[in-house]
Structure 1
Amino acid sequence: MTLLRFAPLGLLLFLAVPASAADWYIAPGGNDAAAGTQAAPFATLAKARDAIRSHASAEAHTVWVADGAYLLAEPFVLTPEDSGTQQHPIVYRAMQDAVPIFSGGSVITGWKKNGKTWEAVLPAKLRSPMPEQLIAGHQPTTLAREPDEGLFTLTSVTEEAPEKGPARQTLRLTGEDYAATLANVTPEELPQVQLLAYHKWDNTRRHIDQLLYEQHAMVTSGRKMKGHNPLNQQTQIRIENYAAALDTPGEWHASADGVIRYFPRPGEDPSQMQMIVPRLEKLLIVRGKPEADEFVEHVELRGLRFLHARWTTPQSGFEPSQAASPIEAAVLIDGARHLAIADCEIGHVGIYGLWFRRGCQHCTLERTWIHDTGAGGVRIGETAMRRDPKQQTDHITIDNNILNRGGRIFPCAVGLWIGHSPDNRVTHNEIADYFYTGISVGWRWGYGESFAKRNTIAKNHVHHLGYGVLSDMGGIYTLGPSEGTVVRGNIFHDIHAYSYGGWGLYTDEGSSGILFEDNLVYRTKTGGFHQHYGKDNIVRNNILAFALLYQLQATRVEPHRSFSLERNIVYYDQGELLHGRWSQVKHDSSNNCYFDASGRDVTFEGKSLQEWQAQGHEIGSIIADPKFADPEKFDFTIAADSPVHKLGFRAFKTDDVGVYGDQKWIDKAKSFQYLPVRPE
């Protein structure tokens, strides 16, 4: 069924299920004034929810959702009165073979060709605020921008920061870059134009206050720059949302007079497609009240698609914030217990996909595809520390999901983020195509109290991160004391930073008590493992291969043992083996295997292995070919006669990493094509 077209009720095929007072039905051609039966279905989820509320029996309720498209007038909201029980859960599920779509968008019609572009008129209700996202059929598009590929680099930045009021920054480009962009902006459209700046691990998104043509500069205002992460002459930028930038297939622009223009890709005809402007910011809200001990409990959503949610940049812009932490999610969950979301889809949204935020326990997300997000895929917990156990989020399971193509509005966002939240399981997920970190765990800089304990990160396939636009990232990135956290059996690869950073396993400020075991890491920029600073982390039985600049990094010298490095294989053909302050950082290292496939001598801060061992390092370690099956094709299967077996290295499986189950689901994860993260 074509997206957002309504089918006659008689054409809908319903699953034959036993008749029960606890069964309800909705269909695109239904009527909320109907009885909600198979023969007379409701039209909306909200009506089915309300019918369950008014039903006096203590039976389990199932809302059967027919195939087709459903326009959401407002987010679908569940509150504590919508709870089931363990014996009598409330289930909202797609009918057999049905693909119900709940859309927060509006279809734009009346497209007419005008030269290379097509144009239509936005309805008045979609002009306030003006849209910043457009979906062409099932494909995302790009808000008109320059440059189309790559980024510009600022030549200088100056700041005026009064004691009161916003700071003002003047940002300068080369004359050539200015001529290609801001010189083409008209005064009338300047209020719409946005600057997206990439700096270290953050991004800043601002409106432009003033153009200084003769200086090749722009003026923006907002928060005073942070000394540790300012905008400067190394900052890369992009200019978005002005008419002259509409010059590449797949781009679009809407002017203040309400005319929307689209430059179609080959084979596209907007007059024959669903051209959708997202209208709602959130699609599903679970609104428990954990502070009042009122939860949404024992509810399941299965087989539903939630698509098309907007983001509109406020006049104040978006100030730099690690992991895009202030940004909420299109599916926002508070105060939920035993909530299950399975076989669903969340896509084409301007913010994060899904967030188990406050007071969520024993909830699951399974076999769900979250894609084309303005920020990241999934968030668990908060940046705040909730000392009331009812308000803390814990025991969340994120298993067998696909999270990809994110960070399109907030490049600093994370594929999967865990804040001050313990006892979660993140397993068998495919996480790819983000501009920053894949998985981030913890939210404490230093050794202060942290709630991010005993998290399990296992069997995830995390790859294609960074794309050389941000820095200081990892396949997995950890912060603060995390005793009991285990990172085991994952594959991290193709991670490339702009300047520094781009690691596989990255223990940042205060990371402590974490076990990294049986992970495969390859094709990173600055190392398979890096510890900035932390305490008593164990890096054991991993394969770390083919980093570009360095293989292992250790940065800060502290009085305690920083980490233990044991029974790992480090295999490389370029760059340095060790980088940082290895001879000074307190660490244990033993029974590792090192090999430089380029034929160079393996040295440790310029010393031979024997000299390095004489200083108390690498006890029992060797320099030897580990005999991988085909490392150039990233087959790291270890031969039976490999010398690493004598070190105690245990071969581990990699063919069970990532999603599992139905072959179509496995094939879907493998079907996506990603651009190279670094120039070859």
Structure 2
Amino acid sequence: MKELYVSPLGDDTWPGTRERPLATLAHARDLARGGGAVVNLLAGTHRLAETLRLTEADSGVTYRAEGEAVVSGGRTITGWRERDGVWLAEVGDLDTRRLQVGGRAAERSAIDALPGNATRTDTGYVTDSTAPQRWGNPGDVEFVLRGVYPWTEARLGVAAVEGDEHSTTVTMAQPAFGWAIELYNSVVPWEGGGESYGPGLPTRVENGAGFLTEPGTFVLDRSRPGRHVLRYRPRPGEDPGRTEVVAPALEELVTVTGARDVTFLGVTFADATWTRPGSPEGFLHYHGTGYYDGGPIEKVSFAEGAWVTVPGESRTIPANVVFEGAERVVIEGCRFTRLGATALLVSGGSTEVLVRGNVFEDVSGGGISVRDSRAVTVENNWVHDIGLEYSGSPGIAVTAGEGATVAHNQVNDVPHCGIVLGPGKGARVLRNLVFNTLKVLADGGGVYLSGPQGDSHDNGAVILGNVVRDTLTPYNFGLYTDYGAAWVTVEGNAVQRADNTAVLKVWPPLENVVFRGNLWDADPMGWDDPPEGVTLEGNVTSAGEEDFEARAAGVVARAGLEPGHTHLLGR
């Protein structure tokens, strides 16, 4: 078997031995072609100048880390100067939304809301505050609109800010703002609902130079094309001459397309971005990782007198590491961190993919996404602190697939759903530990399913032995079978401290859904009058917290990371 070694201190003119390693992964990839090779990544940061692309010609190769080997799409920022307590660096045409300073994440500068008494107009907003006139370059500023729908958070750019000593007019970027007015409309005629037409006031305003008041925050000034300026207000003790600053520059780190028998072991994938939300098209989020990019808009009724408008078609947040049409792939013991989109995507008819024993953290979008693939196993991974910019993003999502298994993962501290199944066939969600979900948005679940999951119970979805705790925001369901879910067996799960443990009456209605032998600390919604498509067998509602803990002990002991993987949690 051919063995090659790559080191950040290597040289591509060397033979690729341990003593004289190569310098770049791209050159190692080329030398490894022919199959059966192992590419050893020696410890250090392997910075990519461009995406590492593997194709069918790269089949049969293992990429294995020795020590902490980081595959980074980041760019080190140098040439800092100081002015009025702020560091400044010219960064050319760099466009990024994240920054690492001294090994810690820096936050985009922000304020909590549009100041003053503000109202929305057809082209933006008017406020009696003059503060927006001191924001800096308007084209850099981004409005965050959380809760346009309870499950939705949009991001829209500003085009212009004008005003006098009495008021300010904020003109929003197009086409995003016009799309938002067309897309976000609803009527919910019951308590806590009402009518909503178009976006409301922003819940957060980001990336204005005038917001750069807190240590550890930054702004990217793009007012001069090709001569962008990065501004950073340092934390105590940071020194521009000694503190490493890294900005993600690539949007894709690694893509594997059509390759077979490819393995990644122990590699850290880090420092990637996604810049689309900062464009005039914005980020018109709808649900999960889906967003609107123009086209038809549909009106959907879901109860008497209640309706929402939704995208007729939508796009999906991309991923920073992608496996497309790949076969017999192993991704094991890796770490996905400091990433600006979805961390990992398996799609395009990929088959027999194993994602095992990895950590996903500090990610702007979702953790693991599986789409249109067969026999994908996602097991014993720790997914936490994801969805940091795109709050609808789930920890693990599987849709349009067949025979997926999601087992023994720990998913915690995520902004919306923990584990999601879209329409598909034969999925198994087994003995996962899911807690602290729905930390930001509402109307979701620790485990969420929608649409048909097969055409019989033999090939339908099984949700077995999962522990779902602390589903946090109001209007949530620990176990949520939604939107016409069909051919689903929900068995032997334990649900505690959710706003609602489950819901039986949804629209379109559930069909051939069985709840059997579950334990929860409150009756599900619709429990007293279950719909025709739902079967209830042997479920138990606990008499209190102590009773719940005693009854759930066996389920809890078998859920989450298995003993060979608990070291991922640091214990």
Q: Which of these residues, 262, 267, 278, is aligned with residue 248 of structure 2?
A: 278
Query: Which residue number in structure 1 is paired with residue 308 of structure 2?
Result: none
Q: Which of these residues, 125, 143, 152, is aligned with residue 202 of structure 1?
A: 152
Contact 2:143 2:202 in 1 (8 A): no
CA shift for structure 1 position 255: 2.5
Contact 1:306 1:347 in 2 (8 A): yes
1:659 aligns with 2:565: no
Give the alignment's TM-score, normalised by structure 1. 0.70
Q: Which of these residues, 542, 545, 569, is aligned with residue 521 of structure 2?
A: 545
| Distance (Å, rounded) in 2 between the aligned partners of 1:408 and 1:529 | 28
Q: Which of these residues, 34, 40, 45, is aligned with residue 20 of structure 2?
A: 40
Match runs of 1:587-666 below 5 Å: 595=543, 597=544, 628=547, 636-638=549-551, 652-662=554-564, 665-666=567-568
Deviations 1:154-204 (A, max 9, x none): 975454xxxxxxxx4x3467x5xx56x635324xx0011001111221222
Q: Secondary structure at the match of 1:380?
A: strand
- Report the residue type matching 2:248 in the other structure: P
Percent identical pairs in the alignment equals: 26
1:340 aligns with 2:330: yes
Contact 2:262 2:328 in 1 (8 A): yes
| Distance (Å, rounded) in 2 between the aligned partners of 1:172 and 1:504 | 40
Q: CA, structure 1 residues 216+422, in 2 after alignment: closer, same or farther (shift >3 Å)?
A: farther
Query: Which residue number in structure 2 is paired with residue 260 of structure 1?
Result: 230
Contact 2:484 2:510 in 1 (8 A): yes
Q: Which of these residues, 478, 502, 508, is aligned with residue 482 of structure 2?
A: 508
**Mind listing any 5+ residue stretches in structure 1 that lack a counterpart?**
1-19, 85-89, 160-167, 289-295, 382-391, 444-451, 572-594, 598-625, 639-649, 671-680
CA shift for structure 1 position 140: 2.0
CA shift for structure 1 position 378: 0.9
Query: Which residue number in structure 1 is paired with residue 407 of structure 2?
Result: 427
Contact 2:380 2:565 in 1 (8 A): no
CA shift for structure 1 position 353: 0.2
Query: Which residue number in structure 2 is paired with residue 487 of structure 1?
Result: 463
1:81 aligns with 2:57: yes
- Report the residue type matching 2:550 in the other structure: T
Query: Which residue number in structure 2 is paired with residue 119 of structure 1?
Result: 87
**Pair member with larger Rg:** 1
| Distance (Å, rounded) in 2 between the aligned partners of 1:100 and 1:348 | 15
CA shift for structure 1 position 315: 1.9
CA shift for structure 1 position 408: 1.9
CA shift for structure 1 position 226: 3.7
Match runs of 1:107-506 below 5 Å: 107-111=76-80, 114=83, 117-124=85-92, 128-147=93-112, 157-159=120-122, 168=123, 170-171=124-125, 182-186=132-136, 189-198=137-146, 199=148, 200-211=150-161, 218-220=170-172, 221-223=177-179, 224-228=182-186, 237-256=203-222, 258-265=228-235, 268-269=238-239, 271-288=241-258, 296-312=259-275, 313-325=278-290, 326-381=316-371, 392-443=372-423, 452-467=424-439, 469-483=440-454, 484-497=460-473, 501-506=475-480
1:520 aligns with 2:499: no
- Report the residue type matching 1:328 in the other structure: P
Q: Flag the structure with more relative contact order, 1 or 2, with Cα contacts below 8 A and sequence separation at least 6.
A: 2
Q: CA, structure 1 residues 247+231, in 2 after alignment: closer, same or farther (shift >3 Å)?
A: farther
CA shift for structure 1 position 655: 2.3
| Distance (Å, rounded) in 2 between the aligned partners of 1:152 and 1:225 | 25
Deviations 1:304-355 (A, max 9, x none): 1111001212221111231123211000111100011111111111110000
Contact 1:154 1:232 in 2 (8 A): no
| Distance (Å, rounded) in 1 between the aligned partners of 2:274 and 2:73 | 12
Q: Secondary structure at the match of 2:567?
A: helix
CA shift for structure 1 position 227: 2.7
CA shift for structure 1 position 259: 3.7
| Distance (Å, rounded) in 2 between the aligned partners of 1:316 and 1:352 | 19
Contact 1:154 1:171 in 2 (8 A): no
Deviations 1:81-126 (A, max 9, x none): 1112xxxxx211013xx111111011113445555x44031332xx
Q: CA, structure 1 residues 477+146, in 2 after alignment: closer, same or farther (shift >3 Å)?
A: same
Q: CA, structure 1 residues 519+231, in 2 after alignment: closer, same or farther (shift >3 Å)?
A: farther
Q: CA, structure 1 residues 299+517, in 2 after alignment: closer, same or farther (shift >3 Å)?
A: same
Contact 2:357 2:565 in 1 (8 A): no
Q: Secondary structure at the match of 2:349?
A: coil
Q: Which of these residues, 42, 64, 67, is aligned with residue 93 of structure 1?
A: 64
Q: Secondary structure at the match of 1:228?
A: strand
CA shift for structure 1 position 254: 2.6
CA shift for structure 1 position 80: 0.5
Q: Secondary structure at the match of 1:508?
A: strand
| Distance (Å, rounded) in 2 between the aligned partners of 1:353 and 1:71 | 18
Q: Secondary structure at the match of 1:191?
A: helix
Query: Which residue number in structure 1 is paired with residue 191 of structure 2?
Result: none
CA shift for structure 1 position 536: 2.0
Q: Secondary structure at the match of 1:513?
A: strand
Deviations 1:51-83 (A, max 9, x none): 122x5xxx7211122111111011111100111
- Report the residue type matching 1:416 in the other structure: I
Match runs of 1:9-28 below 5 Å: 22-28=2-8
- Report the residue type matching 1:105 in the other structure: G
- Report the residue type matching 2:220 in the other structure: A
Q: Which of these residues, 491, 515, 535, is aligned with residue 511 of structure 2?
A: 535
| Distance (Å, rounded) in 2 between the aligned partners of 1:409 and 1:284 | 22
Query: Which residue number in structure 2 is paired with residue 72 of structure 1?
Result: 48
Q: CA, structure 1 residues 172+255, in 2 after alignment: closer, same or farther (shift >3 Å)?
A: same
Q: CA, structure 1 residues 25+196, in 2 after alignment: closer, same or farther (shift >3 Å)?
A: same
| Distance (Å, rounded) in 2 between the aligned partners of 1:316 and 1:517 | 43
Q: Secondary structure at the match of 2:559?
A: coil
RMSD value, Cα:
2.9
- Higher strand fraction (1 or 2): 2
Contact 1:540 1:567 in 2 (8 A): yes
Give the alignment's TM-score, normalised by structure 2. 0.83
Q: Which of these residues, 542, 565, 578, is aligned with residue 536 of structure 2?
A: 565
